[in-house]
Structure 1
Amino acid sequence: MSVFATATGVGSWPGTSAREAAEVVVGELHRLPHLVELPARGVGADMIGRAGAILVDIALDTVPRGYRIATGRRSVTRRAASLLDEDIDALEEAWEKAGLRGTGSVVKVQAPGPVTLAAHLELPGGHRAITDAGAVRDLTTSLAEGVEAHRAQLARRLEAAVVVQFDEPSLPAALAGRLTGVTSLNPVHPVDEAMVIGLLDECTATVDAAVAVHICAAALPWKVLQSSTIEAVSVDQQQLGSADLDGIGEFVESGRTVLLGAVPGTTGAARTSVEQIAAAVAAVTDRLGFARTVLQDRIGVTPACGLAAATPEWARTAIELAQRTADALAEDPDAI
């Protein structure tokens, strides 16, 4: 069974308290807790900002549109590193309290994927880094090395296995040429599929652990994902169209895992039950003609994207529902 065939969180979390978040995540997710991101803390705490603490020999600074590649060690990079250290300290404390050190438990960490990182970072001249092939290569190498160092550090501190999730929300837009340039005179051309596969594979080869890619967008690039060496794909179930079912089927048939964001990310559906979520997850694999055992071995459950905008109460409920659903699927999938 894949390490990803269970319940976990996507990554982002509401609020600003790393300690409170870590206690909830470790307490509720008993097979694959994650190191959360708390974007409400501001610069350096969001998905792209955290990369400032991870990239090797590349610094970030802020600009009106977001982040820019900079020279020297800037205050933004120092802040990102400080916040990440705070998050790791909090997780280690919660891990110790729960008695999980040395038990063989697994933890997940997240980082922006190479395409999304290059799409969101500006070059010194103001253009997106993704418009410069050399910059993309340098960013990818720096990212892969930094994520592996981050993963290894956390594994040492927790005495646990650590797996990695690369977040690629901008990948579909980059492949389709939907990214905007600085002006209409500077279009961002579609990225090449073969190049994307190479970037993902470089990250996978550098990281000494199982790797998943998370995409919370429609029009999933299944050809690219299927051709890469990643072990798992994490998607929002509500974003899936009919074409995605074939992609899921082929991905699972190749012996890999799909995590479905089946738990609502907001309190608007607070009455959602484990039975309803499990039935919705099972409906996907049933439509594809898989035996119910695939729910135990190749399907994971997560909340949908957007949990950072939820209330802390719903965030706790969402991951609790995800875990209880995964437990129900593992215990008796035929009873769903």
Structure 2
Amino acid sequence: MTLATGIGSFPGTEQRDFDEALRLVLGELGEGALPFLPEVPGRGVWAGMVGRTLGLVGELDADLQPAGWRLTGTSGAPALDQRRARSLLGQDLDALEEQASAYSGAFKVQVTGPWTLAATVERPRGDKVLADHGARRDLAQALAIGVADHVADVRRRLPDATRIVLQLDEPALPAVLGGGVPTASGFGRHRTVHPPEASDALAGVLGAARDAGAEPWVHCCAPDTPLALLRGAGADGLAVDLALLDAAGHEALAEALDTGGAVALGVVPSTDPAEPPTEKDVVGAVHRWLDMVGLDPGEAADRLVLSPACGQAGASSGWARQSLALLRSAAASLS
């Protein structure tokens, strides 16, 4: 059975926008789909993908600086902003438990991956964590512990859920591997991280999610996503923007499906399109892709997931709602 899901982020600026997004997700993507914990980054940096994830990391302390999030050490006394991020995520999980404690299907949560964190968060002495081999290793290890605790918390709140998916968001990974992340001055670029190190850090976090009872996926909606590396690191699912794939990407996704992995195809726009696609458009695009890579729709359908191309924080609330309904109906047609 083909499922429908979202990448994670939704439009809005208030707590009530999160509550409405959660109701929408549980309503449109209930049993027979893949509902997820929405993110509403418009509520502030504490609710953004990086702040939300740093709120999970209990082994390292962080605070907000004019340039963004910065690690401050391992004292066990997180700064006000990190505590606020942790509290906000806790409120969101409380709302999930209140609305869906009896939910008995699959459910997805999203966490920023170790390389996007390393490319975004600063070291205590300045510049990105990416600049320091030991710091990026420590951050990945702390994230793995936080992810395991997060999965356990979600399982406690959704005791009847048959399947928990943990999605690592890694939009910066291609830039990390390609030496494209700017230094603090903006005049240089951080050194390339070699694939074996990138794979090891990802494997530690993905393995922690699996050991905690979740199915680990990785999402990246940037060009040149290293899909084979992600599979080699232990990703059971890959979430991509179908329009950005090159020949190697198509081949890697086909191989993932052929060997039992899950593939979430981004097939509807993440922001309001000039002309919204129809169910027929979406189903046709998926069939054309399956035909191109030589996969039988009947055999691949159970491992396919349909999603927006990327997060929807920049969409209108109307399109966020309409796109989920469209994905759900297209997935039903494919099934």
Q: Give the TM-score of the pair, scaled to structure 1.
A: 0.91
Show CA shifts across 1:29-70 (max 9, x none): 122111111100012100001012101221221122221112
Q: 1:119 to 1:20 in 2, by over 3 A?
A: same
2:140 alignment partner AA: T
Q: Distance in 2 between matches of 1:92 and 1:155?
A: 10
Superposition pairs of residues 193-212 of structure 1, within 5 angstroms? 193-207=195-209, 208=212, 209-212=214-217
Look up the SS of the partner of 1:197 in the other structure.
helix
My pick for the range that moved more, 246-255 or 10-19, is 246-255
Q: Distance in 2 between matches of 1:254 and 1:176?
A: 28
Q: 1:329 matched to which residue of 2?
A: 334
Contact 1:172 1:220 in 2 (8 A): yes
Q: 2:221 matched to which residue of 1?
A: 216
Q: Distance in 2 between matches of 1:226 and 1:43?
A: 31
Deviation at 1:94, TM superposition (A): 2.2
Q: 1:13 aligns with which of 10, 14, 29?
A: 10
Give the ranges of 4+ consecutive aligned residues of structure 1 lying more than 3 Å apart after TM superposition: 184-187
Deviation at 1:241, TM superposition (A): 2.5
Deviation at 1:270, TM superposition (A): 5.0
Q: Distance in 1 between matches of 2:185 and 2:299?
A: 48
Q: Distance in 2 between matches of 1:268 and 1:323?
A: 18
Look up the SS of the partner of 2:4 in the other structure.
coil
Look up the SS of the partner of 1:156 in the other structure.
helix
Contact 1:18 1:90 in 2 (8 A): no
Deviation at 1:222, TM superposition (A): 2.6
Say what the alpha-carbon RMSD is for the aligned residues.
Answer: 1.7
1:7 alignment partner AA: A
Look up the SS of the partner of 1:44 in the other structure.
helix
Look up the SS of the partner of 2:253 in the other structure.
helix
Deviation at 1:89, TM superposition (A): 1.8
Q: 2:139 matched to which residue of 1?
A: 139
Look up the SS of the partner of 2:36 in the other structure.
coil
- State the identity as a percent: 37
Q: Distance in 1 between matches of 2:222 and 2:123?
A: 25
Look up the SS of the partner of 2:47 in the other structure.
coil
Q: 1:249 aligns with which of 246, 254, 277?
A: 254
Q: 1:281 matched to which residue of 2?
A: 286
Show CA shifts across 1:168-205 (max 9, x none): 00001110111111236763111110111111111122
Q: 1:154 matched to which residue of 2?
A: 154
Show CA shifts across 1:100-132 (max 9, x none): x1x531211100011111111100121110121
Q: Distance in 1 between matches of 2:80 and 2:243?
A: 39
Deviation at 1:251, TM superposition (A): 2.2
Q: 1:334 matched to which residue of 2?
A: none
**Unaligned 5+ runs, structure 1:** 331-336
Q: Does 1:188 align with 2:223?
A: no
Q: 2:178 aligns with which of 176, 181, 199?
A: 176
Contact 1:43 1:76 in 2 (8 A): no
2:241 alignment partner AA: D
1:222 alignment partner AA: L
My pick for the range that moved more, 87-96 or 124-133, is 87-96
My pick for the range that moved more, 217-226 or 275-284, is 217-226
Look up the SS of the partner of 2:256 in the other structure.
helix
Contact 2:257 2:300 in 1 (8 A): no
Contact 2:267 2:306 in 1 (8 A): yes
Q: 1:66 matched to which residue of 2?
A: 68
Deviation at 1:93, TM superposition (A): 2.4
Superposition pairs of residues 239-318 of structure 1, within 5 angstroms? 239-318=244-323
Q: Distance in 2 between matches of 1:43 and 1:279?
A: 39
Q: Distance in 2 between matches of 1:70 and 1:166?
A: 24
**Unaligned 5+ runs, structure 2:** none
Look up the SS of the partner of 2:92 in the other structure.
helix
Q: 2:55 matched to which residue of 1?
A: 53
